A and B are shown apart, each in its own frame.
Chain A
Amino acid sequence: MSESTAERILYSPSAAEVAALRRRKKRRQLLRSIVLYVTVAFLSLTFALPFLWMLSTSLKDDPQVYRVPPIWIPHPVRLRNYPEALTKQPFDLFFLNTLKYAIPSAFGAVLSSSLAAYGFARLRWWGRDVLFFICIATMMIPFQVVMIPLYIIFKDFGWLNSYKALVIPTFFGNAYYIFLLRQFFMSIPQEISDAARVDGAGEIGIFVRIILPLAKPALAVVALFQFMGAWNDYLGPLIYLNREELYPIALGLQLFRSQFQEKLVWPYLMAASTVTILPVIIIFFFTQRTFVEGITVTGLKG
């Protein structure tokens, strides 16, 4: 930058000079945005490359997979990889299994976390802030620290090899979600609750009829996060489930891979991976804004 704004204010240039200045500025801006777009386009292509590579491989036949240098657009396209791969293992069962615990756990997370968040955000009581601080502090505890006793508790309860170990704990609140919902609940004006109280409403009534309906977007974030978290979870099912007919998609995909031993059929594995990823991508596309807002809230106000 040759001229500073201060100089420009002191010195009044002629009309021609102004025009020249403007042209230069415009050229610079154009150059800048070209550089920007090229950089961003290049980087996002790099980031998307693994997905494109997966998709491309999933549509290849055997000789194309081992072509050097690699080819990007398969010819011929072998769509049959998909049905063939998905019937090698009961993937429909794996999907169903995942839904069997992902949906109840999303429900449990919303219910329990919103109750706790209401207590922390909308009521005034002795010890509230200390408890909330403790709640937040639990986010720091690595899962591995509680993993072994949890396994033993769930074993004693007879919850292993069922979805109970994955579902029931979600009905006891989660610090992240409580935090997120508390932020949201606090933004609802207190007068609304006060007016309802004057009208004789109890706290449960206010919670169910006023706060929850107003907090629908935030509740959606929690449901979404929990659902996706359950869909993507690997360590939990790995510890609690060891019967194949109970496997969720995450364990199923790994089972599928280990089945091939030496000679891995890459197009099959990539087809199965694509199908595993697809629901997540579809859900994300439809709920993008909700997602981003949720992350921003948990992330920033920390």
Chain B
Amino acid sequence: MSIASPFRKIHRTELRNFGKGIAFVSPWLVGFLAWTIYPIIASFYYSFTQYDVLNPPKWVGLRNYAELLLEDEKFRIVLYNTLYFVILGVPIGVVVAFLLASLLNNDMRGRSFFRTVFFLPAIVPAVATAMVWLWIYNPRYGLINSFLASLGQTAIPWLSSPKMAKPSLIIINTWAQGSAIVIFLAALQDVPRSLYDAALVDGANAWQRFWHVTIPMCTPAILFVLITSLIGMFQYFTLGWLLTGGGPNLATEFYGIYLYRNAFQFFKMGYASALAWLLFILVVVFTIIVFRSSARWVYYGGSME
């Protein structure tokens, strides 16, 4: 028996374990390289080219970025629309979802039924959602306007006025917060009873218990929902595309829609790739800001993993 053999053996087992591990994750790894890493790099390259798919990409240097940031007036509107949507829509969605979850967290009969009702809007196909709301928002015969008309009130120009179009879409977004509600509900049920009892002994009223016990204990879940809906809102496409198609007067031309239009309607793949990269940077910056801020307001109890 030589002295070196145990070392060699450890080394060999390690290598074997590494091989096994890589073998199991290899489908993901190959996919990651082919469907994520390569496209990101390719997109970066395309963003410096003029590319219409039919002809090979032509290098234009920074021209796409310069045009986007300095000349494209439409892009400024798109950016404003998107930030409006993210900054207003995300917090509204999170707050409403949290309040609904808190309401459902009470001991009550038929809770799973109510949960289903709140959850359903989140899982039905977006196209069907679009059709239903198109009808609800119909200027003359839609649900709300025809009701208003019968009361002699003036109709609300839901999707047809530049002012109302974004809020109208935010309403739909808030209606479809089902997954957030489910996540919050689970977080609420994990809050230890003993904390409420302790707060009760200290004479805290219901509002104080909600504010000082419930919310701090749920901040990790709030952070999670905040970040996922932030990323989702930056990509917002289907409902806007189907309900307003960017209109009226560019009021709902959001980032995802503008990018799609450039890529698949105008076939300006290079320009759209520059848009995609800016979107990527925007999403990363916003996520980092939220993460950084989270050190101040997210409470990780003793049970941190």
Contacts and interface: CB of A to CB of B under 8 A. Distances in A.
A190 B68 CA distance: 54
B6 to A, nearest CB: 18
Contact of A39 (B34, B36, B103, B182): B103
Interface size class of A (residues with CB under 8 A): 35 or more
Interface in B165-216: 175, 179, 182-183, 186-187, 190, 200-201, 203, 205
A54 interface: yes
A269 B179 contact: no
Interface in A106-134: 112-113, 115-116, 118-120, 123-128, 131, 134
Interface of chain B: mostly helix, strand, loop or mixed: helix
A178 B28 contact: yes
Contacts of A142: 231, 234-235, 276, 279-280, 283
A162 interface: no
Given A54-B132, A147-B263, A140 B284 contact: yes
A295 B128 contact: no
B103 A43 contact: yes
A280 B280 contact: no
Interface in B218-233: 220-221, 224-225, 231
B124 A232 contact: yes
A69 B147 contact: yes
A296 B121 contact: no
A141 interface: yes
B234 to A, nearest CB: 6
A9 B123 CA distance: 51
A80 interface: no
A253 interface: yes
Contacts of A277: 124-125, 128
Contacts of B242: 234, 254
Interface string B75-104: 000000000000000000000000010011
Contacts of B17: 123-126
Contact of A146 (B36, B147, B201, B284): B36
Contact of A292 (B146, B182, B256): B182
Contact of A239 (B39, B200, B264): B264
A296 to B, nearest CB: 4
A173 B31 contact: yes
B29 interface: yes
B156 interface: no
B203 to A, nearest CB: 4
B131 interface: yes
A14 interface: no
B132 A53 contact: yes
A49 to B, nearest CB: 7
A273 B127 CA distance: 8
Contacts of A36: 103, 106, 108
B32 A235 contact: no
B231 A280 contact: no
Contacts of A4: 201, 203
Nearest to A143: B235
Interface string A270-302: 101100110011001100100110011001111
5 contacts: A50-B136, A70-B147, A125-B22, A127-B21, A150-B35
Interface of B: 14, 17-18, 20-25, 27-32, 34-36, 38-40, 42-43, 46, 53, 100, 103-104, 106, 108, 112, 114-121, 123-129, 131-136, 138, 141, 143, 146-147, 149-150, 175, 179, 182-183, 186-187, 190, 200-201, 203, 205, 220-221, 224-225, 231, 234-235, 237-238, 242, 255-256, 259-260, 263-264, 269, 272-273, 276-277, 279-280, 283-284, 287, 305
